[in-house]
Amino acid sequence: MWSTIISEFSDSPSQSRVVRFLLENGFGITQEGRISCNGIEIPATAIAKAIKSDRRVVDSTARRILELPLLKKIFINMRATPDLSRVGESLGYTVITIVPKNANEHGIVGAAVRVLSDHLLSIRQIFVTDPNFSEEPKLVIIIDEPLPTGVIEKIRVLPQVKQIII
């Protein structure tokens, strides 16, 4: 699906950067063609500044998205979810970041979750960066409690795991 979205803008590298930025951040588009995050409008100038582009490129990308039925449906309904990984420690959570050997390989999330569930650990949040949008895809798992002895080692030896960061 993501490759279809990106290929739709392959004729315009600047608009492609806008679309990628919107997807990476969970930003949507209102019926009026304004960029939004969970219903709160974000000025096109702010988006343009963040991606080192021009406001007109952001505006034209939003209009183009609304002209394409599939993309319109996606971006009108897009919602952002808070990423607790940066504040997890302050909230008393344990944040486990797993860097996969191959982010396109199946079973990475399931294998890690299985190890945690075998130890009866409660998962507060799971965040996976899409390998199509991130140069360094990763799996972030946030749990409510400190890790029991041996859990990290069991995750580290999973065949899909390249590196673990706590």
30 pLDDT above the threshold of 70? yes
- Per-residue pLDDT reduced to its tens digit, 59-77: 999 999 999 999 999 999 9
84-165 homologous superfamily: ACT domain (3.30.70.260)
The three-state (H, E, C) secondary structure of the chain, written as one string: CHHHHHHHCCCCHHHHHHHHHHHHHCCEECCCCCEEECCEECCHHHHHHHCCCCHHHHHHHHHHHHHCHHHHHHHHHCCCCCCHHHCCCCCCCEEEEEEECCCCCCCHHHHHHHHHHHCCCCEEEEEECCCCCCCCCCEEEEECCCCCCCHHHHHHCCCCEEEEEC
Give residue limits of the domains in the chain. Answer: 8-77, 84-165
Q: Taking the CA of residue 118 as centre, how many other CA atoms within 13 Å lie in the half-sphere pointing to its CB?
A: 11
For residue 6, pLDDT beyond 80: no
Single pTM value for the model? 0.76
The string of pLDDT tens digits covering residues 70-98 is 999 999 999 998 889 889 889 999 999 99
Instruction: Give dist(CA 121, CA 144) in Å, integer.
Output: 8
Helix axes 69-77, 55-67, angle to 10 degrees: 110
